[in-house]
Structure 1
Amino acid sequence: MTDAPSDTPYADLGPDRILDAVESLGLASDGRVLSLNSYENRVYRIGIEGGPPLVAKFYRPGRWTDAAIAEEHAFSAELLAADLSVVAPIVHQGRTLHPFEGHRFALFPLRGGHAPELGDRAVLTHLGRVLGRMHAVGDGARFEHRGRIGIESHAEAPVDFLLEGHWIPPELEDNFATLADALVDAMDDAWARAGDVHELRLHGDCHPGNILWREHQAHFVDLDDCLSGPAVQDLWMLAGRREDSAAPLRWLLEGYEQFRRFDRRELHLVEVMRTLRLLHYNAWIARRWHDPAFPAAFPWFEAPRHWESVITQMQEQLAALHEPPPDPT
């Protein structure tokens, strides 16, 4: 990850340039461009003459190297070849990543669906089966150019960025820093309790918004955050709130272990992963604040009330990290 963006990375990406990029591949658009919900990248539905619409994803400049994006695309292709339903980039003219006037983009088929019903045992068991199969594929090779999820990358570095950039209101800064240090220590202890955790290639951002549920099947989208880490990273977000997670985890694992064994020691990492997401998410918004889309989408980010809420969540996570892990038996 290079992560050296310009102040306005998409300022020149208007409708005409988007269509010019797509048509540079020899495709004829019908002139229709619809912006889809995405902040990290820019994603558009493009009408195509004589064919179904396509999705064009323009990668954030400076975030990933071409080699890292190639690994994302290759992983998607592996999963698709294993008969898993993922929305993989389209191979066009022998490649999936296309340069155009300082931008890089990929084309994807348009797929419909809705978020899965996570309170339904049959749904969660199905999701577990799919993730078990996905992880079996993910364990067959290793990423070389993509990152891994860990305390240093997803907690310590984000905390340093927020403190050094003075994103925390002055009256809350000491409390934030003290809690962050305590969280890192508690996460280190939890990771030690998990033991020698096995890492594999993951979806990486496996929340319900990245799963399309259609015709009783799960279709996984957006592998933009695929990375290496423990299997539990792709499971915990589907289990819901901490206090209600035992039964959902049990149902997920019922399906998962039909295809791959799950090391129960990784349950010590559920609250670690939840804490990492909290810290990484806030630093992500701060890192992207130069992009005009972010102040518009997150107008509350600089308000003291938001940071008071973050500190409350950090306190809750510190308590959770000292509790026994969820018991899905």
Structure 2
Amino acid sequence: MATHPYSTLSPERVLDAIEAQGYRCDGRINALNSYENRVFQVGIEDEPPLIAKFYRPERWSLAQIEEEHLFCAELTAAEWPVVAPLIGPNGLTAHEDNGFIFSLFTRFGGHAPEPSNLDTIELLGRSLGRLHAIGAQRDFKYRPAITVESYGRGSREFLLNNQCIPSSLVDSYATLTRDILERVDSIFESTPHEALRLHADCHLGNILWRDDRAVFVDFDDCRMGPAVQDLWMLLSGDRLEQTQQLEALLEGYEMFYDFDDRELELIESLRTLRMMHHAAWLARRWSDPAFPRAFPWFNTERYWGEHILELREQLSALQEPPLERMGGNI
């Protein structure tokens, strides 16, 4: 008997759920590249296609999903560039259908921004400055925060307690991650930072560039956290390149919101926590048939050996001076 949460989500059920919102589907349905949720492009008679997102059951509560949507509504009202969920005939953006919560979006095409273009980076900084100015106006009530406990210690405990790591590497992983979390705890405790509402998964794949402007998508992971969380994933290359990108990013950002340079100390900690969280996410989702197909290299000794090596490099990075503005000191 199928037990996976998406095992009953047939194309017919997807189409029926959308038609219950007042649309007439033309039968075309294409699954899009998404693992945590299930996302489809659905043809609509005499209208452009819609994007339907079916949230993973039991990941977020209805209140948490509605809070994500309310944040997007605030951003839309401020004319911030986000693809927000559509409002249904019942006035809601999150709809329930036989155990699933789903939302509908207009289709918006584009490509990822070019990170080597400093003018583009400055424009992204402007958008993020506006985002954080809005995000700082109030806190999330239901959605969680990015913390060392949830992203780091919780990930470590899950992997060790559920025998996810090959036995030959368990001791290495346990010792290394203990040392990492001690260092990350120390950095977080000694670095002043304030939590505000964030996108929280602000990598280039969640930004669509079209007509010389950026539009942000997928607020599924929005959380409370330090402002720098939405900035560091836009930096790439060697230290000089990242410093130049940081300068451009903050030049645009501070047109709308002040940035505390002390938060730059958190970048490598946040990068490390994301790596630990990602490994645990794959392990937690391994019973979903989509994951072994998409990540066949996971759950192998080679993967864990490379993961441990990457974490060792991060432990070294945590000892290094943080990134800083050109010619400046934190």
Q: TM-score, normalised by structure 1?
A: 0.96
Partner of residue 215, structure 2: 219
Structure 1 residues 163-174: aligned runs within 5 Å: 163-174=160-171
Runs of 4+ in 1 over 3 A off after TM superposition: 241-244
Tell me, yes or no, if structure 1 residue 35 matches structure 2 residue 31: yes
Partner of residue 247, structure 2: 250
291, 294, 298: which is aligned to 1:297? 294
Q: Bigger shift: 245-254 or 279-288? A: 245-254
Partner of residue 57, structure 2: 61
Partner of residue 322, structure 2: 325
41, 45, 57: which is aligned to 1:45? 41
Partner of residue 309, structure 1: 306
Residue type at the aligned position of 2:223 = L
Partner of residue 23, structure 1: 19
User: Which runs of no fewer than 5 residues in structure 2 stay unpaired?
Assistant: none
141, 145, 151: which is aligned to 2:142? 145
* Cα RMSD, aligned residues only: 1.0
Q: Following the alignment from structure 1 to structure 2, what is the Cα–Cα distance between the partners of residues 117 and 234? A: 17
Deviation at 1:242, TM superposition (A): 6.0
Deviation at 1:7, TM superposition (A): 4.2
Deviation at 1:26, TM superposition (A): 1.8
Partner of residue 10, structure 1: 6
Residue type at the aligned position of 1:274 = R
Deviation at 1:328, TM superposition (A): 1.9
Q: Structure 1 69/242 Cα, relative in aligned 2: closer, same or farther at 3 Å?
A: farther
Deviation at 1:41, TM superposition (A): 0.3
Tell me, yes or no, if structure 1 residue 235 matches structure 2 residue 224: no
Q: Give CA deviations for 1:86-135 in whole Å, capped at 9, x if unaligned.
A: 00000011110111122111000100000000011000000000000000
Q: Following the alignment from structure 2 to structure 1, what is the Cα–Cα distance between the partners of residues 201 and 96? A: 26
Partner of residue 180, structure 1: 177
Deviation at 1:192, TM superposition (A): 2.8
Partner of residue 75, structure 2: 79
Q: Give CA deviations for 1:198-221 in whole Å, capped at 9, x if unaligned.
A: 110000100000000001100000
Overall identity of the aligned pairs, in %: 51
| Count of aligned residue pairs for this structure pair | 323
Residue type at the aligned position of 2:184 = M
Counterpart contact for 1:194–1:267, Cα < 8 Å: no
SS at match of 2:224: strand
190, 193, 197: which is aligned to 1:193? 190
Tell me, yes or no, if structure 1 residue 132 matches structure 2 residue 126: no
Q: Give CA deviations for 1:219-264 in whole Å, capped at 9, x if unaligned.
A: 0000000000000000000011463421111111010011111000
Q: Give CA deviations for 1:2-25 in whole Å, capped at 9, x if unaligned.
A: xxxx94011011111110110111
Deviation at 1:270, TM superposition (A): 0.3
Q: Give CA deviations for 1:163-189 in whole Å, capped at 9, x if unaligned.
A: 111111111110100110111011112
Deviation at 1:53, TM superposition (A): 0.6
